[in-house]
Amino acid sequence: MVTDIIETRGLTRSYGEICALKPLDLLVPEGEWLSVMGHSGSGKSTLLNLLGGLDRPSGGSLQLGGEDLMALSEDGLARFRREFVGIIFQQHHLVPYLTALENVMMAQYFHSVPDEAEACSVLERVGLGQRLKNRPGELSGGEQQRVCIARAIINSPKLLLGDEPTGNLDHQNTGMVMELLKELRSEQRFTIILVTHNREVAAWGDRIISLDDGVLVREERTRR
């Protein structure tokens, strides 16, 4: 029986008088790939930040992997992020003075202990075995995004969050990254929540939900 890894009830997020996310009820089964679509300002990144424990809701309830995120302290949220979640950013956000290998090891350091051999094998898995010692500035956009993916999965998270992970990539690199995510998901069985405004990218998921002005306006199953 598949259990729900994410369960939100009336989840809201307001910034002063602006309501970025209106009461949202959402269930995500374990292992599902959910794509979240919407225009700029639709609330999709706000939802992702809440699911990743980067931000706190203004109201409602938020259960992730059986844990009530509303009840966690700052340090509790930090523990949740390092043990439960891997995040892929649109801007990559790699540490500029560290090599690809060290960027991945940094995530290990905050999780447990830096392990060079394990970090190397993950980078090889994402096709960067020859670029271990290169700094982000010496890598292409697609390569930087693959380092970001390696960093996100190095601690075997249960939930992988992607905030427009292909937003800065060309068509070819987008295809490569999405194919890689699909392979990794089948190997590691993590749940993926991927925010995008690109329907083609969203279609890689099992289910697509669309947000508009902070409201869930559509939900559809893909053919995959």
Partner 1 sequence: MHRWRWLMHIVLKSLAYRQGRSLLLLGVLAMAASLVTSLGIVSSAMGLRVAEEVRKYGANLVVLPAAARIEVGSGGLDFGTITEPAYLPQDALLRVVGNEGVTEYSLHLRGHLKAGALEMPAEGVDFAVIRRLYPWWQLQGGWPGADEAVIGIDLAARLKLKAGDRIRAAGTAGAREFRVAGVVSTGGEEDKLLFIPLARMQEALGVGSSVSQARLLAQTGGVTLEQRAARLQGLLPGSVVREVRQVARTSEGLLKKVQLLMALVTAVVLIAAASSVASTMSMTVLERGKEIGLLKAMGATRLGVLLLFCGEAVVLGLTGGGVGYLLGSGIARFVMKTVFMVSAGIDLRFAGLSCAVSLCLALLGSAGPMMSVFRLDPVRSLRGE
| Interaction site with partner 1 (CB under 8 A) | 49, 52, 54-55, 74-75, 78-83, 85, 87, 89, 91, 93, 95-98, 102, 105-107, 109-111, 113-116, 151
92: region left, alpha or beta (phi > 0 left; psi from -120 to 50 alpha):
left
CA-closest candidate to residue 192, choices 206, 203, 176, 179: 206
How near is the Cβ of 104 to partner 1 at its closest, in Å?
11
Closer CB to partner 1, 104 or 176, in the complex: 104
User: To the nearest whole angstrom, how small is the minimum distance from the Cβ of residue 95 to partner 1?
Assistant: 6
Q: How far is CA 178 from CA 68, 81, 201, 202, 217, in A?
A: 31, 23, 8, 10, 25
Q: Report, in Å, the least distance between residue 158 CB and partner 1.
A: 13
Distance (Å, whole) CA 13 – CA 45: 11
Decide whether 8 or 155 has the Cβ nearer to partner 1. 155
Tell me how far, at minimum, the Cβ of 1 lies from partner 1, in Å. 30
Instruction: Please report how many Cα atoms fall inside a 13 Å half-sphere around the Cα of residue 81, on the Cβ side.
Output: 18
